[in-house]
């Protein structure tokens, strides 16, 4: 929802060139939401879903931070300032999600790594 709000703010602002990043992030988050909701992650075991979510959070936090600084410092209209402020809020939200997802990823990788080496050592 936050990405969609930022996208709308960038459309209404002079910084319309930044609108692609929130749009892509919104669509990617929507895809991952529906993938988890429809249990697509259980059907496709070859894809590391926690790693995909982790990389999405990291790149989104970095990109939102960069375009928010540019929007707030370079453009003077209110919509650009609002998009920049919402971008900073999104950076914090994605950083928190990054931390939570990182803990899930570590747990996921420990489960996977503890199964395979022990099985190979005993054979």
Q: Quick check: is 6 in a domain? A: no
Q: Quick check: is 92 in a domain? A: yes
Q: Quick check: is 30 in a domain? A: yes
Tokens describing residue 27: 């669509």
Cβ partners under 8 Å of residue 23, min gap 6: 3, 7
Range of the domain at 61: 19-36+48-110
Tokens describing residue 37: 């909701």
- Please answer whether residues 50 and 108 qualify as being in contact, where contact means their C-beta atoms are separated by less than 8 angstroms: yes
How many domains, the chain? 1
Q: Quick check: is 99 in a domain? A: yes
Query: For residue 76, which phi and psi values (nearest 5 degrees)?
Result: -110, -5
Tokens describing residue 55: 């990389």
pLDDT band, very low/low/confident/very high, at 123 (cuts 50, 70, 90): very low
User: What global pTM score does this model have?
Assistant: 0.76
| pLDDT per position as a tens digit, 63-120 | 999 999 998 999 888 889 999 999 999 999 999 988 988 887 788 778 866 554 444 4
């Amino acid at each position: 929802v936050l990405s969609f709000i930022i996208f709308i703010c960038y459309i209404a602002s002079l910084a319309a060139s930044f609108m692609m990043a929130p749009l892509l992030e919104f669509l990617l988050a929507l895809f991952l939401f529906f993938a988890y909701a429809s249990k697509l992650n259980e059907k496709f075991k070859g894809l590391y879903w926690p790693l995909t979510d982790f990389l999405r959070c990291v790149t989104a936090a970095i990109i939102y931070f960069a375009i928010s600084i540019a929007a707030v410092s370079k453009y003077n209209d209110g919509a650009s300032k609002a998009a920049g402020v919402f971008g900073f809020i999104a950076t914090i939200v994605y950083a928190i999600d990054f931390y939570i997802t990182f803990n899930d990823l570590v747990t996921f990788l420990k489960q996977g790594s503890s199964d395979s080496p022990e099985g190979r050592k005993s054979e």
